Structure formats: C-alpha cells, structure tokens
Amino acid sequence: MNSIVVKLGMAMVILLFVVLLPLGYVVNQVFLTFYYQESLQALDRQSDKIVNIIVESQERGMANQVVIAMQMIDDGVAILNSHRQVVIERNVETNLQKLLNDQDWTQLIAGNRLIKEEGGGSGQLILMGKPINLNQQFHGAVVIMTGMDAIEHSASQIRNVLMLSGVGALLLALGFTILMVRKLSIPMLNMVDAAKAMAKGDLNVRVTVESHDEIGSLAQAINELASDLKRFEDSRKEFFVNISHELRTPLTYIQGYVGLLEGQSGNEEHIRIIKNETQRLKRLVDDLFDLSQLEEGKMALTLEWVDLPEVLQGALDSVHLRMREKNISLVVEEEETPLLLLDGYRMQQVLINLLDNAIRYTKEGTILVTTQKVDDEVHILIRDTGIGIPQQELPYIFERFHRVEKSRSRAFGGTGLGLAIVKKLVEHQGGTISVQSNVGQGTEFRISFPIGKEERDL
C-alpha cells in the first residue's frame, strides 16, 4: 500500500465511485419521477376519453361505445353512478367503495379530478377519478386504476441500463486511470531509483526527461544534481590523489633528517615530538592514498588461498603490546573454517584496524575475537566492552572523516579514515561488514565472506 501507483490508483477509483454513485442515484430518481408523471398523464387522457364517450353516448344513444372504449384500456376501469355504486367495471380486483371515502367522493362531486395512491410495495395502486357531468349535473364518475409494478418494471429496466453503462464507464475510467497513473508514477519511480543509486555512490545514473512539466523539471534537477555531485566527487578524488602524492615526498625528507638528529644530544624531546607528529601525518597520508586507490579501483589485490587463523594471529601479534599496556584481556574463539581466497596482507590490515579501534575505545575490559562458519559463510566477530557508539551515529561510521568523538582530542586519536578503508577493503574482497553497538556496553563488528564452491571442495 505504500506504492505511489497503488495510492494514485485507489484515489482515482474512490473518486470515480464518489461521482458515479450519486450520479446514478439522481438519474434513477429522475427516471422514476418521469415515468410516474407519464403514467398519471396516460390515466388522465384515458379517463377524459371515457368521460367524453359517456357524455356523447347519452346525447346520441350510443351506449355500446362506452363498453368498447373500456375494453381498449388495459388498466382497471369502472363507472360509478351518482350514488357511488359501480355500474360497469373491467379488470377491477378491489372494492372501489372501500377505496373511495366520503372526502374523495365529495371532491368528485365538486367537479375536481381525484388522484390517489393506495397500498404499498408491489401492490401499490394509482387511482384517478374524473366526474361525469351531464347538463352541468353530477351523474357519477369514471375511475381508472393502474399498478405501480408497471412503473417499477420500467424503472428496473432503466436501472439495469444505468448499471451496465456505469460498469462500462467504470472500466473505461479504470483503463484511463491506469494509463494516467503509469504515466505519472513511472517517471517518479525512476527518479526514486535514481536517487537511491546516487545515495549508494552511483553518480553516473541519469533520469530520462520525458515531459516539460513539473515532473520533467524535477527529473532535470536530479540530472543536474548528479552531474554536480559527479564533478565534486571526481575533484575530491583527484585532490586525495594529488595531496597524498605531494605530501609523501616532504614527509620522507623530514623522517630522514629526524633520523640524523636522533643521535645528537640536547634535542631529544623536540625530536621525539617531531618524530611522533611526522608518523601521525604519514599515517594520514597513507590512509588518504589507500582510500583514493580503493575508490578509483586502482588498488591491486593479491588474492591467494589464506588460512584465516594465521592471518588473525598476525594481526593479534601486532596489537598485543598495546592491549597489555591498557590491561585489556583477549579471548579468542576459533572454529574450523575453510581456506578463503583473500589478500592476506590487506585482510591483516583490516583486522589490525578493527582491533586498534577496539583497544582505543576500551579503557579496561575484554576484547573477544571469534571466527565461525555459518551455513555458506565465514564470519569474523570482534567484540569489545568499551564505551560503545550512539545509535544515531551507527549509519555513518563507515563514512570517510566521520568521527563519533567530535572534539578531535588526542585521547582517542584516529583520522576518521580507518573504517572507511576497512569497508572498502572488505567489499573489494567480496565480503560485507556490519556493526552493532550500545553506549556503555561495547561494540561488535562482523565481517562475512561467502564460501564459494572452490572453498567447499578444499
């Protein structure tokens, strides 16, 4: 139900029903009123005709003409004398003397037309009476009755026609609605897909501009945004490459001269500071260079069948001293895992980076490292009992230069590039990385590599 196609379609269908249902009701009522009035006019004409024939027959002595005229009428017809007694009747199935009360008869005596409805439902009758006046004296009345079922039958036929017309109109409207909804929604869905692709880093995506209205303007704006972002991204990558290359040379010279000065006395503290800051700057430049190489796809990986426990042990050896200095316990839980087609050196770089993060953000406690085989995947878990990461920061920790600790203090260090490099290296080797964390309880990084057919056969 969250699809814009469904929402637009449902809105159009509801709108059609809102319009068609009241319209059908109004048309039905109009036709019912029309047929009712037509029936009254027909009764009026028939009653006038019989009254005229009666008057002429009295004047010319042609009484048989009255009987003939009554036989030509399909509805119930009766002739009453001045004492309200039925003289002649045809197709009358009810007691007229009960139907005509004193008030009705008084109205006829006064020379007025009588229209009356009796009964209810399918047995409802319309009764019309006309007075018979001879020489301006009341001699009786002609009463014609017809049932409402004839009117209801005609109205039912009209309703059927209206329903068929409504269904046809609804189907045509639905077809038109589907075409319109598709025309409106498909460009918007394409723009949504393009926006998602841009969010994932694909800045080469473009939206086809199919119209010159607001939707077309939005598509054009998305294309322009993608072009601007692409230019910005290309400029940023070029800047990373250039700055890393330009800084490496002077850093090499600085390191060389610091090495020459280390043997001289009197400047040990200053030399130590210069050396530490130079190493810190070199790590930043190296990270920038690695990240630019990864993003441009220029970093060559040396893939080989590696034993994961061996790679993990190399990474643990590199950080062992720092863990001991901070009094952090290490727990390693290893399951038997198959050989994986990885770059051993880069994989060790990934593990060292994650272990270094765990050590940096854990004052005292434990770091748990686990390797396990789950279905067709090998998982590497690095869990610490450190300060944790706020939930609102988790979606961004793999972005370059993003740091959870905003103060940039040296207590935690880091360049903000380590986790971005880790994610790129893992993905370049066909794996995935995820993170879970709670403030005050610690953080867990999970690296997963699929086990291919070749690995399973080893």
- Which residues, including other chains, have CB under 8 Å from residue 219's CB and lie 6 or more apart? 187, 190, 191, 207, 208, 209, 210
Cα–Cα distances in Å, from 4 out to 113, 157, 160, 184, 205? 64, 40, 35, 10, 22
| Residue 448: predicted pLDDT | 94
Burial tier of 340 (Cβ tally within 10 Å: 0-12, 13-18, 19+): buried
Give the mean model confidence (pLDDT) for residues 244-257: 68
Instruction: Tell me the residue type at 448.
Output: S
Which phi and psi angles does 203 have, rounded to 5°?
-95, 5
Give the mean model confidence (pLDDT) for residues 119-127: 67
User: According to the per-residue pLDDT averaged within each range, which of 49-53, 197-201, 219-223, 253-257 is highest?
Assistant: 219-223
Q: Hey, is 155 helix, strand or coil? A: helix
Give the mean model confidence (pLDDT) for residues 350-373: 90
pTM above 0.85, yes or no: no
> In the Cβ-directed half-sphere of 175, how many Cα atoms lie within 13 Å?
5
Of 136-150, 262-276, 420-434, the one with minimum mean pLDDT is: 262-276
Helix (H) or strand (E) holding 341: strand 340-342
Q: Which residue has the tokens 């086809």?
A: 208
Which ranges in 326-446 belong to alpha helices (H)? Answer: 344-360, 418-428
Which pLDDT tens digit goes with each residue over 312-345?
999 999 888 888 888 899 999 988 888 899 988 8
Residue 16 has pLDDT above 50, yes or no: yes
